[in-house]
Every structure is written in C-alpha cells, then in structure tokens.
Amino acid sequence: MSDRRAPWIAGLLVAAALVVVIVTTTPWHLIDLPKPDPALDFTSAEIDRQQRFRHALLPWSTTSWVLSVVVPLAIGFSPLGKRLYDVLRLRRWWLAVPVLVAALGLLTSVITLPTDALAEQVTRDYGLSTESWGLWLRDRAVNWLLMSVALIAIALGLIALAKKWRTWWWAPAAIAGAVLVLGVSFAYPVLVEPRFNDFTSMAPGAQRDAFMQLAREDGVPVKDVLVADASKRTTALNAYVSGFGSTRRLVVYDTLLNDATPAQVRLVVAHELGHAAEDDVLHGTLIGTLGAAFAVVLLRLLLGARMADPRRTALLLALIVSGTTLAAPVQNLVSRKIEARADYHSLRLTNDPKDFVEMQHALSVTNISGLEPSAWRYWMFASHPTPPERIAMGRAWGTEHGDPVPPLVK
C-alpha cells in the first residue's frame, strides 16, 4: 500500500465503522409519540418565566460560545498563530508548545470572562446558581487547567510522532488517540469529578435500600449510591452515571434528594440505571474512540508531514475546535436518543407514568429548562430531549399500557 493511499483507505474504513456503530446501536425509535405541547403541562406563568430566563441568558451564553469558537479559529487559521509561537522565543519546541497551548486557552477564557459573568449573574437572579464568585472563578481556573493538560498532551504527542515518522505518524497517533479516549472515560469519575464536587455514600436508610433493591430488580450491579454536594453551586436537580467497569458510579445531587419527592427520585434513579443497564457510557466511549482515530487520520490528510512543525500548534488547536463544533449536532442527536431510551427504561422499571410526567414537569420548572428551543439551538446544544418531548413519552407509554396520564394543566 502506498504512503499516499494508506491514510485515505484508513480514513474511509474508520469512518465506515463509525457510521455503522452509530446507525446500528442508536435506539432510533422506541414508541410513537404525540406532538409535544408545553401548554398541556406547564402553566402560562411557568412558560413565561422560562422564556424570560432564556431571553436574559441566551445573549450572553451564546456570545461566550461564539467567542470560544471564533478566537482559536481566528488565531489558528491566520499568520498570527505562527507569530505567537515565534514571540515565545523558546529554543525547545516541547517547552514552547505547552506554553502556547496554555496561553491560547487562557486568552479565550479571559475574552469570554465578561459574557460568562453576565450569564452567571442571570442564573443568580433566577435562583438557579448558589455558588460564590470565588468558587465560580476557581471552577473556571480548574477547567482551563484540565483542558490545557489534555490539549498539551495531544499536541505534544502528535508533533513528537510526526517528527519521528514523517509519513506514517498518523497510524500510531490514531491508535494512541483511541486509547486516550478510552482511558479518560474510564478514569474521569476518579480523576476529574472530585476536582469539582465532594462525594459521599448515601446514608443507610429506607431510601438507599429502595435504590439498591431497584438496581437488583433491574439486574444492574450497583455497589453504592454516591451523593454529590451540588447545592454549593446550584439549585438544579440532577443525577448521572459515569465511568465503566470498576469506575462506574451512580451519583445523585443532594438537591434532588432534598427537594424532590421519593417517587420522583426513584424515577430519576431508574433512568440512570437504564444508562448502566445499556452500558451507555461504554457505548459513548466506543464512538469516541472511533471518532478520535478518524480525527487523527483527517489531520494527516489536511496537514501531512507539516504536523511535525510546532509553529503550526495554533492551527492544530483551530482544527480541533472546528472538528468538535461540526461533530456536536451528531453527538447530540445520538445523546438525545440514548437519553430517551433511559426514560423508556425508567417507565418500564417503575410502571409509573403519572409520577414520571410530574417528575419531568418538576425538574423542568426547577431547572428552568428550555421548553421549545429554536431549531439550531436544539441541534447544536440539546443533549437531552426537551421536557415536553419527555412528557410526551411518559404519556404515550401510559396510554399504551392502559394507564393514561391527563394533562397537568386543567
């Protein structure tokens, strides 16, 4: 196989594998749904509050997102990227690259700081955020540090491999990228999550026993239920599953335990058990490993041997930002289908469509979730179905099983 044809063939094979995995493993259809209608279950006051919140929040959050994309693109796709590398005047490329990566990340964080702060103020005004400004700044610093470490590792690895194997660097890099995604997904619960929250085992009692019994009935091995101290940052209600194998954990927010009814908490936990039962984290990791391998091959096709030039580090970051932005709609589409399956699992496990609908309503009101986002926001940012879509599933499931749920708004 020629050096020129090999990356094209590898790219096509990995892309085909990625498409096959997504198409064959994503639950595209679970149940026929009625048309979602917020007016059936949300009062005019609740709808108005949600609209006012989003009207106040979205200009700032959208501006921050646009800046976070435009800044690295403007630098990376212009001569400015190389000039910034030269300004560093560091003789060792393996010192210059980390400094440049960290500096560009810091620059983006500083540029988006004002609009991020204005968005944060809106969440405070509506009672959604409870964290101090000191904790908010600390979270931003930790996030910048973690992202810098990840991007530095990627940049150093790619450039080092390209320097060693000018033509075939992409082959070991693709394998390394896939292994990196696998490792990060496995280690994330024990290395990253504790940087933002403290986790404690749920205290022994009737509620914990009920959760463990629910897991046993579902055939999902759960050693423990962890409680995150989310209330130091937010009033939002949530739970999640992360990791796989020995690092898999079921986590509930302390706000959920404190502010939701036992029946609603049970349904949320059943939803998370659905993720565990279907190995959704592992499924997402598999897609991520193939995506990482494809991204490396694509870099080879775009940059070739120029990947060995550390002066193109800013261009590399711009290409990474471009790729993740373009991939977001597909990732969110798959995520919404996976989340819908977990909702369906929750309904099957609890056989409680009435409380399911009331739970989705309560979560949406407390979290001030968007009820009818614009089409582009839905495709670009929505990793979960909208609350009316989730309520429609609960109502459809209840009707199909002889337990119809009437509208919550009379």
> Which of the residues are catalytic?
272, 343
339 is in an annotated binding site: yes
CB 193 within 8 A of CB 351: no
CB 392 within 8 A of CB 340: no
What is the phi/psi pair of residue 29, to 5°?
-140, 130
* Both structure tokens of 352: 């409680």
Contacts by residues 128-134 (CB-CB < 8 Å, ≥ 24 positions apart): 128/234, 128/235, 128/236, 128/367, 128/368, 129/233, 129/234, 129/235, 130/231, 130/232, 130/233, 130/234, 130/235, 131/232, 131/233, 131/234
29 is in an annotated binding site: no
Task: For CA atoms 88, 92, 97, 102, give the dihedral sign.
Answer: negative
| Token pair 């149940």: residue | 31
* Both structure tokens of 298: 């694509």
Within 13 Å, how many C-alpha atoms sit on residue 351's CB side?
A: 5
What is the DSSP code (8-state) at residue 129? B
* Both structure tokens of 27: 């639950």
Span between the terminal Cα atoms of the chain, in Å: 69
* Both structure tokens of 81: 């990227």
What is the DSSP code (8-state) at residue 234? B
Q: Which residues contact 151 (CB under 8 A, 6 or more apart)?
A: 101, 105, 317, 320
Task: For CA atoms 260, 262, 267, 272, give the dihedral sign.
Answer: positive
User: What is d(CA 178, CA 10) in angstroms, rounded to the nearest whole number?
Assistant: 14
Within 13 Å, how many C-alpha atoms sit on residue 305's CB side?
A: 7
> Residues at the annotated binding site?
271, 275, 339
